[in-house]
């Protein structure tokens, strides 16, 4: 029995009807097409009355197939499928013919637009004729979330999920949570102390009974799918037993290696080999840096087990824990596996620290040319100079300080075209911090634009100029060179059309936020997409800003792109709410538009020849292998199988398969050929 | 209008440009002539001096302030609460100087020392449009004898009547209406145009005539294109540039305007039936005959 | 053009000096250019009005004070009226002119303008009011080139004014000439 198909042509206001004769399209849809039993046009199909029209006609006309000729299926396929479902039809018999994006918007001339629209509608009618009923796939949910990264984004997301009563596993690769926010001195636009607002949250997280914290740990592998992830976590050897250690500080006080550059202080301060990164660290327990520890160095040199080296055992000797000491040189990496329902990726950013790419600014060459984060540490009361602004080379308080904006950003020639978004504001803040500490000092800022679109940001940046007296010069700096103990900064002020030469004592580069060095690898591990700058991609920049390309994996904070603290916290909250929505259901419904590798009766079992090309092209890691076994347990053949939980229905596998063994539901070959064959080529 | 306001006596500060035997004397003549018919009574401030005008403020702020403020102190001494300065250069300088000494105690002391008089700053300085609007609108209606026919007037305010607005607080600086209201009140058509407060080049008449020619040309074109057959002004500098320089402009640009430039006081005077000669209308560069002839007696 | 900033020559000093003299805080200017956009004389200027503010902001004293722009400003105050940051730009031009004269660095290209101001104030100093004839004569005598250029026009304008009785040869003097002289002595 052939289908009774209804065709509904939308005017989309005048978006479609201005360049497409919609009445003619509806008329033509009926011609020579016995399957089409009803056609109409309507001003706005997506409106309430438009949807009602669709529902009513399905019932009145007894339709069992629908083509809505309107905008992109990305916009309203869902809307019309829902409407048809309400009218008692299987929603997968609804197809969208895209007359707006693919026709009326791109063709200026009405006859051509109309002709193409007629074809587009006919194609979809043919496809609809071959549509089969599909039913949503149901998957169970593990009610536990994983948060990767313990900066402000991760902490916020973890707390929000845990406070709603769900278990959270947090994995942080550094020895302490806190991330970059813990490094900042004060925050814009209120100038409140970063540590003061950050540490209570860190403590709250550590004390939350729903949260399990793994620091000095990394994600090894993520398998499974939405609601059912299997996550392997590598707990790196810390050489300290966190259960035994009390954080008494004896070990790092006696450690003789005292001149290791502190990562937390951006290389400006020093730390020991066994250390806590900063006083408020959580956990407040040390980690042993095996690369710099004298004992491990000796063991490596002599090629003996560390425990056999006798060079230095001061930390172990002084450890007061008895009978078993908290320090353990023999500790090894440990792999833990956790079952997870949803994941929040909050892996943060890395400041552009390879400033040697700016040789013209003396980056990496002159000690007194420093980065933004280095300045934060200088200005911080817990920093290497206890908050006094001293230049690194000789400790002198700079009287003239020059800030250069857009370093590592808005610089396509250096491979970084994007705006790092926070630097304008943090530079304004830096000038204020500097002026507050060095009253007689003079701050100059070279900028291209001053971007301050946040709440209170414009006022903040003007305060730096008008009240705190920072002098802003509009132009990039071309060169910084040394002259005596001064740094000569050669810049421009394009507003007056002049060259500006400043003899400065110190130069601060407003270095950009970059993606983490291993972002690409990490994204591949999670099967999530990333952009040209290696920041992780959201699915839709406006409507799905925290959803990654893999179902059940959400993005929070600067791993997705440069952003400031308020925006990061807001995004973390949004990601948490998405996780909570997932975890609130016992079962999840998924779109049935997934691929399937055929299975046939013996002796063929499947036409799949097991080449696994499909596995190579699948962006979601959804292709698994299956051994088809004989009764005696021996393997007859190994074929591909699609994990429905992971499959996103992109169709790459079906297109790649050479033996035509893979079929994408709703897009099978028969349907696609029917579409193509319906077009009259001339 | 009440009997009391009718009797109001206002200090008159003509300023250099509009006194007898000066380049813009017809403005002063017509202001005084009109006030004799409809009030308020204007009494010249004794021994007033030049406010310093643009040359004053352009080169010496303190000197310019002192020269201006001296006149206010004189008016105060003569017992006036309000002073009319018909020339906007003067009224603006006087008001801004008042504001300056009000806001700067040190400047006030220096100025008091220089003018050897105390400053109490209780005198309100008004421009001519304010005076007409505040005291004489009913009187004009009452005593109007003639009405114009087909007279389309572009009201040109120039810079100094309205700027700086925060200190002068007179009318809308981007689209003032007071002069248009007066023009309409006497029965002429006030044309809507875009150059009401554009600059004419002011004090550059002698030193940078080229600048004046360019700017006044824009204004004349704007008025002509809006269909005006006369431009009303309340500023001697605007008048000088538009009237005296109109032939220059025509020579340079080739466009013939022949638009009479009349003081608003002259228009009021004509409406009151005063003799055009007594209003000084024979002293213009551009013949004002067309304006004078537009007025005819109101039939009662 | 090159601007040099060292510990000895700091940008903030000039802006501070201007602020102390006039109360005008150039730091408030965010260089939107609205002043320039509305300036009727900008087409004749060597630097745009916003650039003059910029010079003060970044301490380019010489560039600001020797510019022709400060003299070409017609004091129409359109800039101040429309400035979104309430910077008194026209008034800033006054201060800069004053400073340029004090330091003897006024741009010689605009000598016609400075001479006019001089002649004008001399007349006020002498008589208490403007003696138009005397003032014009002094100006023309000091700027013979300019006088020659406009001789014909002046002759025609002048004779018209004379004929209409609008240009008096006799100065308008006031009684209190002495008090005016004292004002000039104290503040001039």
Average pLDDT over residues A334-350: 97
Indicate whether C94 and C124 sit together in one domain: no
**Exposed e or buried b per residue across B18-37, where buried means at least 16 C-beta atoms within 10 angstroms of its C-beta:** bbeebbbbbbbbbbbbbbeb
Residue B92 domain flag: yes
Coil, helix or strand at residue B51: coil
Is the same domain home to C116 and C89? no
Closest CB to A496: pick one of C10, C28, C54: C54
In a domain, B132, yes or no: no
How high is the pLDDT of residue A596? 95
Task: Indicate whether C59 and C132 sit together in one domain.
Answer: no
Domain holding C113, by residue range, is 109-187
Asked whether A44 and A8 are in contact (CB, 8 A), the reply is: no
Between β-strands A662-664 and A595-597, what pairing exists: parallel, antiparallel or unpaired? antiparallel
Q: Are B300 and B240 in contact (CB under 8 A)?
A: no
Tell me: do B204 and B262 sit in the same domain.
yes
Report residue A373 as tokens: 């984060």
Q: Say yes or no: C142 and C85 in one domain.
A: no
Whether C35 and C84 map to the same domain: the answer is yes
Has residue C121 been placed in a domain?
yes
The verdict on residue B157 lying in a domain is yes
Position A355 scores a pLDDT of: 87
- Strands A635-642 and A270-271, by their bridges, are unpaired
- B136 located within any domain: no
Instruction: State the Cα–Cα distance between residues A565 and B135, nearest whole angstrom.
Output: 62
CATH, residue B61:
1.20.1050.140
Please say whether the beta carbons of A52 and A146 come within 8 A.
Answer: no
Q: What is the mean pLDDT of residues A73-88?
A: 94
**Burial classification of residue C177, based on how many CB atoms lie within 10 Å of its CB (0-12 exposed, 13-18 middle, 19 or more buried):** middle
Q: What's residue B300's pLDDT?
A: 64
Looking at the structure, tell me whether residues B272 and B174 fall in a common domain.
yes
Inform me whether the C-beta atom of residue C133 falls under 8 Å from chain B C-beta atoms: no
If asked whether residues B86 and B154 sit together in one domain, one would say no
d(C-alpha A289, C-alpha A276), whole Å: 10
CA distance C6 to chain B (A): 31
Q: Are C164 and B282 in contact (CB under 8 A)?
A: yes
Chains A and C touch (3+ CB pairs under 8 A): yes
For the entire predicted model, the pTM comes to 0.83
Q: Write the ipTM.
A: 0.92
Mean pLDDT by 10 residues, chain B (300 residues): 58 93 92 95 96 94 97 94 97 97 95 94 95 96 96 97 96 96 98 96 86 94 96 96 92 91 98 96 95 91
Query: Are C34 and C101 contained in the same domain?
Result: yes
Same domain, yes or no: B113 and B146: no
Q: Are B119 and B163 members of one domain?
A: no
Q: Does A498 touch chain C (CB under 8 A)?
A: yes
Collapsing DSSP to helix, strand or coil, A648 comes out as coil
Are residues C28 and C94 both part of a single domain? yes
Token reading at A516: 């983490």
pLDDT at C10: 72
| Contact present, C and B (at least 3 Cβ pairs less than 8 Å) | yes
- Per-residue buried b or exposed e for A460-489, using 16+ beta carbons within 10 Å of the residue's own CB: bbbbbbbebbbbbbbbbbeebeeeeebbbb
Together in a domain, B101 and B76: yes
Contact by Cβ (8 Å): A22, A41: yes
Question: How far is Cα of residue B259 from the mean position of the Cα atoms in its chain?
Answer: 19
Residues 58-97, chain C, touching B (beta carbon < 8 A): 72, 74-78, 80-81, 88, 90, 93-95, 97
CB contact under 8 A, C174 and B59: no
Task: State both tokens at A192.
Answer: 């409140």
Structure tokens at A389: 């602004």
3-state secondary structure A54-65: HHHHHHHHCCCE
Residue indicated by tokens 């507050």: A436
Contact yes or no for B55 and C166 at CB 8 A: no
For residues C100 and C44, membership in a common domain is answered with yes
Terminal CA-CA length for chain C: 34
Same domain, C116 and C171: yes
Q: Are residues B81 and B47 in the same domain?
A: yes
Least CB–CB distance from C188: residue in B60, B197, B282: B60
Question: Which chain B residues contact residue C150 at CB under 8 A?
Answer: 209
User: Chain B closest CA to C163's CA: distance in Å?
Assistant: 9
What average pLDDT is seen over chain A?
95
Q: Distance between alpha carbon B176 and the CA centroid of its chain, in Å?
A: 14
Q: State how beta strands A623-629 and A635-642 pair.
A: antiparallel
A450 Cβ contact partners less than 8 Å away, ≥ 6 residues apart: A424, A428, A461, A472
Per-residue model confidence (pLDDT) at position A1: 53
Looking at C106, C125, C149, which one is the last position of a domain?
C106
C161 CB neighbours in chain B (<8 A) are 23
pLDDT of residue A354: 82
- Which whole number is the average pLDDT over A564-571? 97
Q: What is the pLDDT of residue A58?
A: 96
Indicate whether C20 and C68 sit together in one domain. Answer: yes
In a domain, B251, yes or no: yes
| CA B92 – CA B95 distance, rounded (Å) | 5
pLDDT, one tens digit per residue, over A353-403 is 788 899 999 988 999 999 999 999 999 999 999 999 999 999 999 999 999
Domain of residue B64 covers 3-126
**Domain termination residue (choose one: C106, C124, C147):** C106
What residues of chain C score a pLDDT lower than 70? Answer: 12
B245/B261 Cα distance (integer angstroms): 11
Whether C97 and C18 share a structural domain = yes
At A149-203, the pLDDT tens digits run: 999 999 999 999 999 999 999 999 999 999 999 999 999 999 999 999 999 999 9
Closest CB to C139 among B197, B206, B283:
B206
- Please name the chains neighbouring A, where neighbouring means 3+ C-beta pairs under 8 angstroms: C
Q: In 10 A of CB A196, how many CB atoms?
A: 10
**Residue A681: its pLDDT value, please?**
66
One domain for residues B110 and B74 = yes
Lowest mean pLDDT across A1-15, A147-161, A563-577: A1-15
Residue C71's CATH number: 1.10.1060.10
Residue C113 lies in a domain: yes
Walk across the sheet containing A217-225 and list its strands: A217-225, A228-235, A334-340
Domain boundary among C78, C106, C134: C106
How crowded is the C-beta side of A40, counted as CA atoms within 13 Å?
15
C127: number of Cβ within 10 Å: 20
Q: At what angle are helices B178-185 and B264-271 packed, to 10 degrees?
A: 20
Structure tokens at B203: 């004090």
Cβ-nearest to B50 among C72, C124, C167: C124
**Per the domain annotation, does C83 fall within a domain?**
yes
Residue that finishes a domain, picked among B126, B158, B181? B126
Q: What region, left, alpha or beta, does residue A266 occupy, with left being phi > 0 and alpha being psi -120 to 50 degrees?
A: left
In a domain, B258, yes or no: yes
- Name all domains of chain A by residue range, CATH numbers in brackets: 5-129 (3.40.50), 250-318 (no CATH), 350-514 (3.50.50.60), 595-665 (3.30.70.3270)
């Amino acid at each position: 029995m052939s289908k009774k198909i209804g065709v509904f042509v939308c005017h989309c206001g005048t978006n479609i009807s201005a360049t497409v004769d919609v009445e003619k399209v509806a008329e033509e849809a009926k011609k020579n097409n016995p399957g089409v039993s009803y056609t109409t046009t309507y001003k706005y199909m997506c409106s309430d009355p438009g949807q009602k029209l669709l529902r009513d006609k399905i019932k009145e006309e007894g339709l069992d197939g629908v083509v809505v000729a309107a905008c992109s299926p990305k916009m309203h396929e869902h809307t019309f499928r829902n409407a048809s479902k309400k009218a008692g039809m299987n929603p997968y018999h609804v197809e969208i013919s895209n007359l707006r994006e693919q026709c009326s918007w791109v063709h200026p001339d009405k006859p051509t637009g109309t002709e193409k629209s007629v074809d587009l509608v006919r194609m979809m009618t043919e496809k609809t004729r071959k549509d089969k009923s599909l039913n949503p796939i149901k998957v169970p949910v593990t009610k536990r979330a994983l948060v990767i990264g313990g900066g402000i984004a991760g902490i916020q997301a973890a707390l929000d999920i845990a406070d709603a009563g769900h278990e959270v596993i947090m994995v942080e690769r550094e020895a302490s949570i806190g991330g970059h926010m813990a490094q900042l001195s004060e925050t814009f636009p209120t100038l409140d102390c970063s540590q003061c607002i950050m540490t209570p949250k860190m403590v709250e997280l550590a004390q939350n009974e729903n949260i399990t914290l793994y620091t000095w740990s990394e994600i090894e592998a993520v398998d499974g799918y939405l609601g059912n992830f299997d996550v392997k976590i590598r707990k790196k050897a810390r050489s300290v037993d966190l259960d035994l250690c009390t954080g008494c500080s004896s070990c790092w006080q006696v450690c003789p290696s005292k001149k290791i550059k502190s990562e937390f202080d951006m290389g400006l301060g020093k730390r020991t080999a066994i250390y806590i990164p900063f006083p408020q660290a959580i956990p407040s327990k040390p980690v042993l840096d095996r690369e710099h520890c004298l004992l491990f160095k000796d063991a490596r040199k002599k090629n003996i087990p560390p425990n056999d080296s006798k060079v230095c055992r001061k930390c172990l000797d002084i450890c007061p824990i008895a009978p078993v000491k908290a320090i353990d040189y023999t500790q090894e990496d440990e792999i833990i596996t956790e079952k997870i329902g949803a994941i929040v990726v909050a892996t943060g950013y890395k400041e552009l620290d390879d400033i040697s790419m700016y040789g013209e600014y003396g980056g990496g060459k002159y000690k007194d040319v420093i980065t933004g984060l280095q300045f934060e540490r200088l200005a911080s009361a817990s920093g290497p100079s206890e908050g006094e602004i001293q230049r690194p080379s000789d400790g002198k308080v700079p009287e003239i300080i020059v800030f250069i904006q857009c370093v590592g950003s808005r610089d396509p020639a250096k491979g970084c075209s994007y705006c790092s978004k926070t630097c304008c504001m943090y530079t304004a803040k830096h000038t204020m911090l500097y002026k507050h500490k060095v009253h007689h000092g003079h701050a100059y800022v070279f900028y291209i634009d001053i971007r301050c679109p946040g709440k209170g940001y414009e006022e903040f940046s003007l305060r730096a100029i008008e009240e705190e007296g920072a002098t802003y010069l509009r132009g990039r700096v071309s060169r910084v060179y040394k002259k005596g103990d001064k740094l000569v900064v050669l810049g421009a002020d394009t507003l007056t059309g002049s060259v500006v030469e400043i003899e400065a004592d110190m130069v601060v580069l407003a270095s950009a936020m970059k993606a983490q060095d291993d972002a690409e690898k990490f994204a591949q591990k999670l099967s999530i997409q990333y952009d040209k700058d290696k920041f992780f991609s959201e699915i839709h920049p406006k409507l799905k800003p925290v959803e990654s390309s893999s179902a059940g994996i959400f993005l929070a904070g600067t791993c997705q792109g440069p952003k400031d603290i308020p925006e990061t916290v807001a995004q973390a909250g949004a990601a948490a709410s998405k996780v909570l929505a997932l975890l609130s259901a016992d079962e999840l419904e998924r779109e049935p538009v997934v691929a399937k590798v055929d299975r046939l009766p013996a002796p063929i079992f499947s036409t799949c020849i097991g080449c696994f090309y499909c596995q190579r092209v699948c962006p979601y890691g959804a292709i698994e292998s299956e051994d088809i076994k004989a009764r005696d347990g021996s393997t007859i053949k190994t074929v591909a199988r699609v994990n429905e939980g992971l499959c996103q229905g992109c169709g790459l596998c079906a297109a790649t398969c050479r033996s035509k063994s893979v079929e994408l539901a709703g897009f099978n070959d028969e349907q696609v050929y029917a579409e193509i064959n319906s077009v009259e080529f001339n | 209008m009440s009997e009391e306001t009718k009797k109001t006596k206002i200090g008159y500060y003509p300023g250099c440009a509009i006194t007898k035997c000066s380049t813009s004397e017809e403005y002063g003549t017509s202001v005084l002539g009109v006030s004799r018919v409809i009030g308020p009574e204007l009494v010249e401030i004794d021994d007033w001096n030049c406010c310093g005008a643009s040359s004053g403020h352009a080169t010496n702020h303190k000197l310019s302030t002192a020269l201006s403020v001296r006149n206010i102190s004189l008016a105060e001494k003569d017992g006036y609460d309000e002073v009319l300065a018909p020339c906007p250069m003067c009224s603006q300088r006087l008001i801004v100087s008042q504001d300056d000494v009000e806001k700067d105690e040190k400047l006030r002391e220096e100025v008091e020392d220089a003018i050897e008089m105390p400053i109490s700053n209780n005198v309100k300085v008004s421009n001519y449009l304010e005076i007409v609007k505040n005291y004489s609108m009913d009187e004009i209606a009452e005593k109007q004898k003639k009405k114009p026919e087909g007279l389309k007037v572009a009201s040109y305010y120039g810079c100094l009547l309205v700027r700086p607005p925060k200190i002068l607080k007179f009318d809308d600086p981007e689209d003032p209406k007071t002069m248009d209201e007066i023009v309409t009140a006497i029965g002429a058509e006030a044309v809507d145009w875009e150059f009401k407060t554009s600059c004419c080049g002011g004090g550059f008449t002698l030193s940078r005539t080229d600048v004046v020619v360019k700017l006044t040309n824009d204004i004349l074109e704007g008025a002509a294109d809006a269909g005006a057959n006369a431009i009303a002004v309340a500023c001697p500098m605007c008048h000088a540039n538009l009237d005296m320089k109109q032939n220059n402009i025509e020579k340079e640009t080739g466009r013939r305007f022949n638009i009479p430039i009349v003081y608003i006081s002259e228009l009021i005077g004509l409406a009151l039936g005063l003799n055009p000669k007594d209003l000084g209308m024979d002293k213009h560069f551009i013949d004002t005959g067309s304006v004078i002839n537009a007025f005819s007696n109101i039939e009662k | 053009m090159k601007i040099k900033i060292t510990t000895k020559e700091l940008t903030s000093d000039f802006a501070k000096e201007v602020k102390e003299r006039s109360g005008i805080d150039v730091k408030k200017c965010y260089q939107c250019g609205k002043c320039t956009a509305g300036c009727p004389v900008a087409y004749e200027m060597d630097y745009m009005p916003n650039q003059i503010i910029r010079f003060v902001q970044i301490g380019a004293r010489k560039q600001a004070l020797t510019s022709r722009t400060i003299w070409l400003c017609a004091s129409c105050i359109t800039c101040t009226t429309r400035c979104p940051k309430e910077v008194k730009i026209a008034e800033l031009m006054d201060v800069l002119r004053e400073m340029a004269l004090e330091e003897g660095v006024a741009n010689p290209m605009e000598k016609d303008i400075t001479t006019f101001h001089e002649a004008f104030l001399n007349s006020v100093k002498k008589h208490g009011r403007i003696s138009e004839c005397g003032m014009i004569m002094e100006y023309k005598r000091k700027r013979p080139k300019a006088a020659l250029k406009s001789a014909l026009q002046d002759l025609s304008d002048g004779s018209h004014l004379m004929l209409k009785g609008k240009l008096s040869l006799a100065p308008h003097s006031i009684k209190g000439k002495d008090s005016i002289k004292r004002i000039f002595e104290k503040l001039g």
